[in-house]
Amino acid sequence: MAFDPQAIEALFTRDGRYLCARWGRPVAPVVFGLADESLPIFREALRAVLTHAGQPMAETDPEMGANLMTFFVRDWDELGGLPDLDRLTGQSGLPERLKAGSADQYRLFRFDADGAIRACLTFVNMGGALADSHPGQLAETLAVRAMLTFARDVVPSAELARLIRAAYDPVMPAVATDAAHALRLAARLS
């Protein structure tokens, strides 16, 4: 899929508002709910995506410890067992809403004062449609979707990797709310 300005704008427009933000600090990941033997697959997929974008990875974030948190559950009811989930997400009744919406994943971003990504929380329900996912493909997909504030789910591809790399170019802003930003990204891809 080639990304022209209109396609790029659509990737970052939700409810009529354009927002393209990237990480403004090194990414310090942690994964909950996976077997130990699966962790290296997810860590290496994230490392590859971050390296391609030119974004550093760290063991810890000085303010938060971990700033990219991924939670795997077999069903959304398991989230009820997470202490302070409402405080962590800023949303009450999240497990019930995800269950009612038949969601298989949910992503929530937190931002620094300048609007760059400060943290990303991802919740993945492995009891439904994702149960038979290939671990490597799932790991890459989750890593890619956490790199920018995509307004819809994206699928890893060479063209999407180029778009992420363009958004992480140091001359590009860490956050953009004007849809004209899509023109700048498109120009970097041509």
Same domain, 53 and 101: yes
* CA nearest neighbour of 142 among 66, 150, 78: 150
Same domain, 33 and 53: yes
* CA nearest neighbour of 78 among 121, 34, 125, 36: 125
Same domain, 75 and 158: no
Classify 47 as helix, strand or coil. helix
| pLDDT band at 75; cut points 50, 70, 90 | very high
Side-chain-side CA neighbours of 117 within 13 Å: the count stands at 25
CA–CA separation, 109 vs 16, rounded Å? 18
All residues at 6 or more sequence positions from 37 whose CB lies less than 8 Å from its CB, including other chains = none
Same domain, 113 and 168: no
Same domain, 80 and 166: no
pLDDT at position 60, please? Answer: 96
**8 Å CB contact between 25 and 61:** yes
pLDDT at 159 over 90: yes
Same domain, 15 and 27: no
Same domain, 99 and 159: no
Same domain, 134 and 184: no
Q: Which domain holds residue 8?
A: 1-21+149-190
The 3-class SS string of 156-185 reads CCHHHHHHHHHHCCCCCCCEECCCCHHHHH
Same domain, 29 and 104: yes
pLDDT at position 94, please? Answer: 94
Please tell me the total count of domains within the chain.
2
pLDDT at position 71, please? Answer: 96
Phi-psi region of 54 (alpha: psi -120 to 50; beta: other; left: phi over 0): left
Same domain, 136 and 81: yes
Mean pLDDT of 143-166: 97
CATH number of the domain to which 136 belongs: 3.30.379
pLDDT at 1 over 80: no
pLDDT at position 2, please? Answer: 76
| Mean predicted lDDT score pLDDT of the chain | 95
